[in-house]
Chain A
Amino acid sequence: MPLAIGSWAPDLMTKWFVYGISIGGLKLKAADPAQFHRGWPGVGFTHSLLFGGVLALLVWRIFDSKIWAISFLIGQWAHALTDTGDTVGTMLFFPWTVHIHLNAWAYAGQTGRLRDGAAYFSGLGGAWDAVWIVYGLFSWRVLTRSYFEQHIYTADRSWSVANRVVSVGALLVVYRAAFFYGTSRWIAWTLWAHAYHHYPYDLSWGGPHWVDTAHSPPLTWPQVAGVVGIVALGLAIALMELGRRRRTRDEREIGFPCECGCREVVKLTKAEYQTVGGAWLEGHKPG
């Protein structure tokens, strides 16, 4: 659930204003939907890695659950990263307001919900969704009751809290709902766009080209260098932290059973165990 909520977080409170709504005779819509949605000034910071990090920290503090915080972070980062695939992209490294965009599919939010839906499910964006649906179908075991009971329910105490109110059967439906929603929605929009309305497919880069597309300016070479620098710095920090944790783990003493068979415990680090070639107490002979 926190993974799903994290993945919706960037658009949760804002997408309605991008598409516009009518209340009575009053029409509420952003004057520049792409700027509002992904830019600054605007709410584009919701699609940044920093935003995900800040919210994840808040989730950790408020709910006192590391698994909720990490799950939320992965979901939000997944949304922010995949939205770089279109022609407007995201300000991944906000407060640096440069837009990272790969231009694989057309951003058409300013055309309204229906035309945007038709365009998305006619181009590489919809195809990218299909890749994840297929991956999900091949990973069908994670949707089984036994997997849920053995791995998901036991890993997150919120499921057992919810179990006091509703049955495991209902929790299982909630667990499966996100995949159900994503897959069914993809099928519905695809049928609506191509079987019902006959919008043409255009799987070329940046397509479909029949829709009015919003674009972010291309990155300059200094900006590309900046992005590469940030990514390299992030990777370096991650590798250093990984190395530090590995060293700490290897330097931590572990209890090994004495190999003479006396059932006493010998405390050694992993490195000591490997150096000596076994674990036994002084004066005991290995069996």
Chain B
Amino acid sequence: MPSRRQLAVALGYAAASAVYVAIGVWFTDFLLSFFVALVYLLLVAWLVPAGVRRIWRIF
């Protein structure tokens, strides 16, 4: 069974997927390229969380 941390990570990716799907259904060109998905995922799953953690540490 996955741990709580692993489930939390999975839920994060599921949320990112939901947003990606919503954009893709509205604008199918968004679904065309893997590299668009990669940039999107790096943004929402790495850069934004890293930025939030950094800001949190400051405060």
Residues of A within 8 A of B (CB): 4, 8, 113-114, 117, 140, 144-145, 169-170, 173-174, 176-178, 180-181, 183-185, 187-189, 191-192, 195-196
Contacts and interface: CB of A to CB of B under 8 A. Distances in A.
Interface of B: 2, 6, 9-10, 13, 16-17, 20-21, 24-25, 28, 31, 34, 37-38, 41-42, 45-46, 50
A117 B10 CA distance: 28
Contacts, number: 66
B38 to A, nearest CB: 5
A177 B34 CA distance: 8
Nearest to B37: A181
A196 B34 CA distance: 23
A161 B34 CA distance: 22
B24 A181 contact: no
Nearest to A195: B25
Contacts of B25: 188, 191-192, 195-196
B5 to A, nearest CB: 9
A6 B41 CA distance: 21
Contact of B16 (A114, A140, A145, A180): A180
B20 A174 contact: no
Main secondary structure of the interface of A (DSSP, over half): helix
A192 B16 contact: no
A117 B31 CA distance: 11
A188 B26 CA distance: 9
Contacts of B13: 176, 180
Given A174-B42, A188-B25, A140 B34 contact: no
Nearest to A8: B34
Contacts of B42: 170, 173-174, 177
A184 B17 contact: yes
A184 B45 contact: no
Given A176-B13, A188-B25, 4 more contacts: A114-B28, A140-B10, A170-B42, A188-B24
B34 A183 contact: no
B6 A184 contact: no
Contacts of A183: 17
A173 B46 contact: yes
A180 B37 CA distance: 8
A121 to B, nearest CB: 11
A184 B37 contact: yes
Nearest to B50: A169
Contacts of A191: 21, 25
A187 B13 CA distance: 14
B48 to A, nearest CB: 11
A195 B21 CA distance: 13
5 contacts: A4-B34, A176-B13, A185-B37, A188-B21, A196-B25
